[in-house]
Amino acid sequence: MSIRIGIMGYGNIGKGVEMAVSQNKDMEVVAIFTRRNPKTMKGNHPFVSVDEMDKYTDRIDVMMLCGGSATDLPEQGPRAAALFNTVDSFDTHARIPEYFEAMDKAAVEAGHLSLISGGWDPGLFSMMRVLAQAVLPQGSDATFWGPGVSQGHSDAIRRIPGVKDARQYTMPVETAVQAAREGRAQGLTTRQKHTRVCYVVAEEGADCQAIQEAIVTMPNYFADYDTTVHFVDEATLQREHQGIPHGGFVIRNGVSAADTPQTVEFSLKLGSNPEFTSSVLVACARAVYRLRGQGRTGAQTMLDLPIGLLSPLSDQQLRARMV
The contacts of residue 91 (CB under 8 Å, 6+ apart) are 69, 117, 119, 121, 122
In terms of DSSP H, where are the helices of 196-295?
208-216, 234-240, 273-293
* Measured distance CA(97)–CA(2) in Å, rounded: 32
Q: CB 150 → a second copy: shortest distance, Å? A: 18
Q: CB 298 → a second copy: shortest distance, Å? A: 11
Pairing of strands 27-34, 85-88: unpaired
Q: CB 30 → a second copy: shortest distance, Å? A: 18
Q: Which lies closer to a second copy via its Cβ, residue 127 or residue 171?
A: 127
Q: Which lies closer to a second copy via its Cβ, residue 120 or residue 225?
A: 120
Q: CB 64 → a second copy: shortest distance, Å? A: 15
The contacts of residue 240 (CB under 8 Å, 6+ apart) are 199, 232
* Measured distance CA(112)–CA(27) in Å, rounded: 19
Q: Which lies closer to a second copy via its Cβ, residue 70 or residue 223?
A: 70
Q: CB 156 → a second copy: shortest distance, Å? A: 26
113, β-bridge pairs: 298
Q: CB 121 → a second copy: shortest distance, Å? A: 9
Q: Which lies closer to a second copy via its Cβ, residue 202 or residue 302?
A: 302
Can the peptide bond before residue 122 be classed as cis, meaning omega within 30 degrees of 0?
yes
* Measured distance CA(227)–CA(181) in Å, rounded: 24
Q: Which lies closer to a second copy via its Cβ, residue 210 or residue 322?
A: 322
Burial of 322 per CB tally in 10 Å (0-12, 13-18, 19+): exposed
User: By the criterion CB under 8 A, which residues form the site for a second copy?
Assistant: 16, 19-20, 22-24, 93, 96-97, 100, 117, 122, 124, 126-127, 129-131, 133-138, 181, 243, 255-258, 260-272, 275-276, 278-280, 283, 286, 301-308, 310-313, 315-316, 318-320, 322-323
Q: CB 102 → a second copy: shortest distance, Å? A: 13
Q: Which lies closer to a second copy via its Cβ, residue 218 or residue 264?
A: 264
Q: Which lies closer to a second copy via its Cβ, residue 70 or residue 307?
A: 307
Q: Which lies closer to a second copy via its Cβ, residue 76 or residue 89?
A: 89
Measure Cα distances from 8 to 26, 74, 94, 291 in Å. 20, 14, 24, 21
Q: CB 95 → a second copy: shortest distance, Å? A: 11
Pseudo-torsion of CA 315, 316, 318, 323, nearest 10°?
A: 110
Measure Cα distances from 123 to 67, 93, 96, 116, 117 in Å. 17, 11, 12, 9, 6
